[in-house]
Homo-oligomer: A and B are copies of this chain.
């Protein structure tokens, strides 16, 4: 049977493409790594690595096995984490995935409480698009996701955290700037600035706006919420922003945030983890802490 250490060596070489550096990364001498890799190749009767003195590469066979190797290492570290978690359920490493339109605005509110209520947990934060996050959760690279729930996520365990309203953002010069609230129908004929494809906020905001008869400004698509905000401030159009992104007073100078009255657009932020994940205690503790941190922010307004 294959040994886990061998797979670590293989992956190290795949990453460094250099025996010496890979050995260093594994905390062994270069001859050790060379030797073990050779033995692995002999056992599998496959050449995994092309050795040219100045250019180490994986063979196609090696390339294919790397994925399987990563799976094994992943499963192994899941085992170790599960063991650590049994020792003290509320300790160990926890990898949380968040989307870019939520992370920078929610984290300042939730991390202080998380760190103080779960002091023995090391939180690793990963910012990525929804699709990538789901894949990484599935593969065990992440333990928890925090993002707007979609039907395709049904296979995961779900904890609802909070409903985040979307508010209209306009410049101070815009015709709406004097309003205290806007209605669904006000969107009719308006040109809306949007994020580029792949951001789920784009789909949600546009879904609401389209059905109200608004149109997208096709000449531009922003790569981040901040870009979008600057464009709104420059009076180039209006957009919908999630509430949490409007709370920082520093960014509110040249911009007006106006809540919707009629049918308020919201996104339902949920916490996901794999069904049957071994550290549910931990997951529930995180969910509760996040809820307690966020809900008061929406009550006051």
A272 smallest CB distance to B (angstroms): 15
> Interface size bucket, A side?
20 to 34
Whether A64 and B79, one on each chain, are in contact in the complex, defined by CB atoms closer than 8 angstroms, is no
Are A3 and B2 also in contact (CB < 8 A) when A75-B71, A79-B72, A83-B46 are?
no
Q: Are A68's CB and B82's CB within 8 A?
A: yes
B87 touches A45 (CB 8 A): yes
Q: Is the CB of B68 within 8 A of A79?
A: yes
Decide if A69 is an interface residue (CB 8 Å cutoff): yes
Q: Which residues on the B side are within 8 Å of A196 (C-beta)?
A: none
Q: Contact between B80 and A64 (Cβ–Cβ < 8 Å)?
A: no
A247 at the interface (CB under 8 A from B): no
The residues in A between 11 and 65 inclusive whose CB is less than 8 angstroms from any CB of B are 44-46, 61, 64-65
A-B contacts besides A1-B76, A2-B4, A44-B83, 7 pairs, CB < 8 Å = A1-B4, A1-B8, A1-B80, A3-B3, A64-B82, A65-B86, A72-B76
**A contact set with B: CB distance below 8 Å:** 1-5, 7-8, 44-46, 61, 64-65, 67-69, 71-72, 74-76, 78-80, 82-83, 86-87, 155, 276, 278
* Sample (23) of A-B pairs whose CB atoms are under 8 Å apart: A1-B8, A1-B80, A2-B76, A2-B79, A3-B3, A4-B4, A44-B83, A44-B87, A46-B86, A61-B83, A61-B86, A64-B86, A64-B278, A65-B79, A65-B82, A67-B276, A67-B278, A68-B83, A69-B79, A71-B75, A72-B79, A74-B75, A75-B75
